[in-house]
Amino acid sequence: MIPFAGELSSLLVAILWTGTSISFSEAAIKAGSVHVNITRMLFAWCYLSITIIVAGISISLAPLQILFLAISGFIGLVFGDTFLFKAYQHIGARLGMLVMSLAPVISAFFAFIFLNENISLIGLLGIAVTVGGIAIVVLQREEKPTSKYKISRIGIFYAFLGAVGQGVGLIFAKLAFNVGDINGFVATFYRISVAIIIFYPIYFYSTKMHNPFKAFNNQKKALTFTFIGSIIGPYLGITFSMIAISYTKVGIASTIMASVPILMLPFAKYYYKEKLSWKSILGAVLAVGGIAMLFLD
């Protein structure tokens, strides 16, 4: 086994999610977040199906594993992502990401209760330092003066539910891996399949649209961003997140994955042309230091 396979996979997930967040945000501006959300799942399901068929991977799992993955898909991809999008509508990305940084703490807490995963003092300190670094970066970045977002209790509550969904979703996925070995692509296939089965009726009744791809008829660029984002996000990102939790503790994996706001800094400077303050740099240094401590755990 590759040393630090779980930690390295988690770091790769954070890098992938950084790219997919840019792709989906660009697509959502042009086509709408609801259409992008269901379309990314459909794209990812197709990628996973082709991969499993071409590679000849068996999707046969124990009934208990399928149950845990189904629950994980519902809690993480339907419940968690739905409330995360609602949080963005109320309080925007800055506060939304801040509250979402609680996901590692939630994961570690439930992993301790249900999985008996104990993290050393260095590991706990690493989690605290990483979350603190993320908080510094996210808190200091101000919305544009014309921003329509304001601090609201309901928005913060929605973001908290999103963090709970992400954190608890990983717990149930870990329970599936604890039953027996699972291929990462197969685990993601089951999670996304359940998410589509549950989310599509919600999408249909809320938009009255049978085919979500029609929303991209005049938005070819948005479709391209969604296509790319689906590859590096739901397809590769979620798959490697499953691999990560199979090799390391859930609290550690989710903390490293939560470093996306830090990895976004170069994109903020060179892609979005934002100026980086000393707080951004300090937060990045703290977060990277905290992640390094997790490798020592």
pLDDT in tens, 276-297: 778 878 887 888 788 778 766 6
Contact call for residues 90 and 211 (beta carbons, < 8 A): no
Chain centroid, CA 168 distance in Å: 12
Q: Which two tokens stand for residue 125?
A: 């300190």
pTM higher than 0.75, yes or no?
Answer: yes
Region of residue 146 (phi > 0: left; psi between -120 and 50: alpha; otherwise: beta): alpha
Q: Which two tokens stand for residue 287?
A: 């977060």
Q: How confident is the model at residue 249 (pLDDT cuts 50, 70, 90)?
A: confident
Given this model, what pLDDT does residue 146 score?
42
Question: For residue 188, is pLDDT > 80?
Answer: yes
Given this model, what pLDDT does residue 27 score?
83
Rounded CA gap, 190 and 187, in Å? Answer: 5
Question: For residue 267, is pLDDT > 90?
Answer: no
Contact call for residues 233 and 17 (beta carbons, < 8 A): yes
CA angle 164/165/168 to nearest 5° reads: 75
Question: For residue 145, is pLDDT > 50?
Answer: no
Q: Supply the mean pLDDT for the chain.
A: 84
Question: For residue 141, is pLDDT > 60?
Answer: no
Among candidates 2, 3, 15, which has minimal Cα distance to 240? 15
Q: How far is CA 176 from CA 44, 101, 140, 144, in A?
A: 21, 24, 39, 43
Q: Could you tell me the residue ranges of all domains in the chain?
A: 5-296
- Higher pLDDT among residues 124 and 227, named by residue: 227
Q: Which of 117-131, 187-201, 218-232 bottoms out in mean pLDDT, i.e. has the lowest? A: 117-131
Question: For residue 149, is pLDDT > 60?
Answer: no
Rounded CA gap, 80 and 153, in Å? Answer: 18
CA angle 232/17/118 to nearest 5° reads: 120
Given this model, what pLDDT does residue 92 score?
66
DSSP-derived secondary structure for 257-274? HTTHHHHHHHHHHHTS-P
| 53 phi/psi in degrees, rounded to 5 | -70, -50
Q: Which of 60-69, 118-127, 194-203 bottoms out in mean pLDDT, i.e. has the lowest? A: 118-127
